[in-house]
């Protein structure tokens, strides 16, 4: 217990705690306690919220991303804004409803191979600021991706891509894709589902790194019966 009056300057330890230092040399370490109205720690004023949701102009902050998901699950048209880089304990399941995840320039990681999975709902991922990314995989029933960088496998029963940067996109049995934008280090579809052309929205094509149209009709399957492309972008077909 401190018996003297100290004036502390606080530093966020980036591990859920902060350190307060007084000019006299006394230091204290404490856990963040968050205000749901501001998202800040009530002691050190650091923004510690993982996410926020705004309903009817009222913004509520959530200390963990999972708490925001618990509110959004089964609801329609909820937007979750990621406020800080965060890691979820396992894949986030959206049972129904529709939710938009605004990466907001932040990163979401997972302790497992996948961050998002939605059984019957719809999830849209966008990045209103730039620099936002998912570190692990994204999968689900209806997955709409409008932006962000995605470091692991992205797939979905109904995958719609209008933009973003992707390491791997895979369309397997039971999946489908409609792509009208984005850049792809590796993209593939198993032959029993369709061809690379079947992944494209009407009026769009693949371009190679030099800006040339890729003739996907010449692509052969690999030994595992997949059609694959590397280092391509998707854009509107240009008129001659």
Residue with tokens 């990681």: 109
pLDDT for res 1: 46
pLDDT for res 203: 96
Mean pLDDT, the chain, rounded, equals 88
How, if at all, do strands 137-138 and 114-118 pair?
parallel
Structural element, H or E, at residue 65: helix 65-72
Low pLDDT (below 70) residues in the chain: 1-8, 23-24, 26, 30, 32, 34-37, 39, 42, 45, 47-48, 119, 240
Q: What is the pLDDT of residues 164-202, one digit of tens each?
A: 999 999 999 999 999 999 999 999 999 999 999 999 999
pLDDT for res 24: 67
Of 50, 127, 60, 141, which is closest to residue 89 (Cα–Cα)? 50
The pairs formed by 104-108 with CB atoms below 8 angstroms and a separation of 24 or more are 104/128, 104/129, 104/132, 105/129, 105/130, 105/131, 105/132, 106/82, 106/132, 107/132, 107/133, 107/134, 107/135, 108/65, 108/82, 108/133, 108/134, 108/135
pLDDT for res 57: 86
CA angle 173, 218, 211 (to 5 degrees): 100
pLDDT for res 109: 93
pTM of the model: 0.85
pLDDT for res 155: 94
HSE on the CB side for 60, CA within 13 Å? 13
For residue 231, the Cα-to-chain-centroid distance in whole angstroms is 21
């Amino acid at each position: 217990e401190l018996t003297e009056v100290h004036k502390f300057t606080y530093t966020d330890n980036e591990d859920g705690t902060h350190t307060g230092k007084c000019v006299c040399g006394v230091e204290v370490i404490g856990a963040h306690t968050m205000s749901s109205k501001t998202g800040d720690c009530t002691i050190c004023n650091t923004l510690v919220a993982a996410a926020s949701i705004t309903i009817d102009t009222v913004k509520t902050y959530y200390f963990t991303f999972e708490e925001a998901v618990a509110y959004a699950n089964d609801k329609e048209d909820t937007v979750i804004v990621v406020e800080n880089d965060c890691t979820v304990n396992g894949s986030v399941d959206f049972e129904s409803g529709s939710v938009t995840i605004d990466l907001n320039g932040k990163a979401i990681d997972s302790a497992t191979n996948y961050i998002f999975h939605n059984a019957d709902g719809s999830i849209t991922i966008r990045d209103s600021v730039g620099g936002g990314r998912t570190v692990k995989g994204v999968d689900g029933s209806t997955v709409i991706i409008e932006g962000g960088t995605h470091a692991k496998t992205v797939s979905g029963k109904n995958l719609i891509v209008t933009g973003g940067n992707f390491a791997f996109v895979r369309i397997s049995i039971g999946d489908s894709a409609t792509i009208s934008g984005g850049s792809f280090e590796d993209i593939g579809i198993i032959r029993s589902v369709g061809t690379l052309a079947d992944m494209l929205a009407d009026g769009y094509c693949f371009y190679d790194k030099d800006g040339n149209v890729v003739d996907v009709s010449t692509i052969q399957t690999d030994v595992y019966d997949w059609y694959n492309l590397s280092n391509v972008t998707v854009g509107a077909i240009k008129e001659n």
